[in-house]
Amino acid sequence: MNKKSGRTLDLLVIRHATSIANTKGKLAGRIEPNPLSPEGRKQAQGLFPLIADFKPTRSISSPLIRCRETMELAGVRGYETSDEIMEMDYGKWSDKSLKRLSLLPGWKKVQRDPLGFRFPGGESFEECRERISSFRSRFFGWGGERIVICSHGDIIRILINELLGRDFASFQQLQIFPASYSRLQIEFSRQSQSQTPRLLYFNRVASTPPIASGKGFQVGGE
């Protein structure tokens, strides 16, 4: 770290392991219970060495079961939960087949102009962006820490996309597999809260990843 720089925040961002809804090809949203599948439980256990080596000083999870199970099976204890990184509220799209949802007129709107879309009876991407921004606003106070975050596909894609300063719709170009992990470091200036994010690695998995769907069925929390 150079003399002009301040503290650095180290983030290990994990998507929850494969859930029952994932195996059924459904967009779960906030529908509970949606626990991990047997495969997902093995994936989560496989994250133990990674997290142990990272040596987190703080751990934060979405409150939904699939994230909390991922953290617990990976050996994380004493984690906090935050509604700010909870899955999107997909409203009437929740618990529906991704294959069928992809045939709806709104599907193309989600892909091409997400900020102009609200899920029927659910959350808008603008509202989701606002709560992720609220979560990010705490980063300066966490400078110097090593934090594990366990969340959902869309939330992680938006968070990383925003940190890198990309156009909002560009988050749709990112793919996040279940039980994948990405690492970022954010360096804060000593004189202000200005930050320099660096993406060290992205969407890594401990086992062979699934083949991404050619039709882009990942909204992508499911």
* DSSP per position, 162-183: HHTT--GGGGGG----TT-EEE
Q: Summarize the confidence of residues 191-217 as an average pLDDT.
A: 74
- Side-by-side strand order, sheet with 195-204: 80-81, 58-61, 146-151, 5-15, 181-189, 195-204
**105 Cβ contact list (under 8 Å, min separation 6):** none
- Per cent of the chain over pLDDT 90 is 86
More confident residue, 174 or 214: 174
Residue 122: pLDDT band with limits 50, 70, 90: very high
pLDDT score, position 155 = 98
pLDDT score, position 215 = 47
Please tell me the pTM assigned to this model: 0.91
- pLDDT tens for 69-91 read 999 999 999 999 999 999 999 99
Query: What CATH fold (topology level) applies to the domain 5-59+72-144+157-190?
Result: Rossmann fold (3.40.50)
